[in-house]
Amino acid sequence: MADTIEKEAYDEAKSALQCYLLSQPLQSLSSRYYFLSNVFDLQPFELHLSTIQATDNAYESFFTRYAYLCKLAANKDREIERVTHWHLVEIIALLKDHGSTREEIAAMITQDPVIAHSGSLARTLVDLAAGLWLMLLISKYPGDISYDEPIIWRDNEKLGEERHELNEGFINKNFSCRYNSTDLVKLPQAFTAAHLEQIGGIKVEWTSNLADHLLLKDDDTKLMLFHQVSILQLHKKSPTTLLPKVLVDETIRSISLLIPPVLGEPNPWFQQQRKKWLIDAQSGVCHRLNSSERQIEKFVYWRERLVLLKRTFDDAEPRNISQLWWDDRKKTQWFTFWVAVLVFIMTVFFGVVQSVAGIVQAWASVQSLKAQKAQS
């Protein structure tokens, strides 16, 4: 009976995907799960989350971004308004073929009567589908006010390459495991997003664009931090993902490095961030790294950006009392400084008390003399 009910729910979900236009966001949990199970080639039970996000709001941040990108794509090409969510599922299925270029995939989908041989619409849809699946911002969209930097997928490029091929594909070109930095910087427990803001004055900007992860912007005053961990976990399980599994795992570890949980729960700083922004809750409950896992040698894809971020953090000098209070990177100096401040405050306080006491005593003496004169 339960299997029959579940089948009916998923039949309804498929019908919704085939009928709903991209201008109509997917709202029901069944339609969202059906979309994700087809995109990542997973069974429905593999989508269920066992942590704090396992609620009716599961994957809310992803589907909010989905609706936002569909709106931006419509600004770029008004013809997209007649396209359904199922079209994107079918395009993503074509993207999983290593051997096809962007131009070839666009040509395939122009055979669909809805797309009606429109080359520009086809390319817009290919970029949109690839961006949703791989968590990237591909192509520029009119009206996009985010800090995300778009990356360009050229017509003659394949999305991914087989290992025996000599030319790099689109993914390998943008996510290289080769690095130039040989600095063996230390990544201590104090190296967190909270301290980057509180001590270094580096504001965290949350992003759903994987290519922008750990990127410093605006003269090193803003840090782009990827947060769609729920989707990364689906990529880890997916048998058809084109993202290197090492990249996915390393990205999750880098997020855990900067947002360490406390006893399996999100830390206070992250909880405050979630009150202000729609952030994937899974970002705050990743596996907490031990000292061995925090070694820079354990990071390959994100090493260059982590080294630069650590240097920027180390070079940052406190510019106000709040930053001075939080800056305990050099604990001996921090303790000595605040003890000196405390001694200074106490000296001033007792000096003021003594002065006031002296004034009161002098005033009392004057009053006493006046009283004696009056009596005489």
Helix (H) or strand (E) holding 222: strand 222-226
7 CB burial (10 A radius; 0-12, 13-18, 19+)? exposed
Residue ranges of alpha helices (H) inside the chain are 2-19, 29-39, 60-76, 85-95, 102-109, 119-134, 170-174, 193-198, 229-237, 245-258, 268-276, 303-315, 321-326, 331-375
Cα diameter, the chain? 119
Report pLDDT for 37. 94
pTM: 0.82
Q: Where are the domains of the chain?
A: 2-171, 193-326
Blockwise average pLDDT, block size 10, the chain, 376 residues: 54 87 91 94 79 62 95 90 94 89 93 87 95 94 84 90 59 84 83 92 95 95 96 96 95 98 92 94 93 93 95 78 54 58 72 78 74 68
Report pLDDT for 2. 38
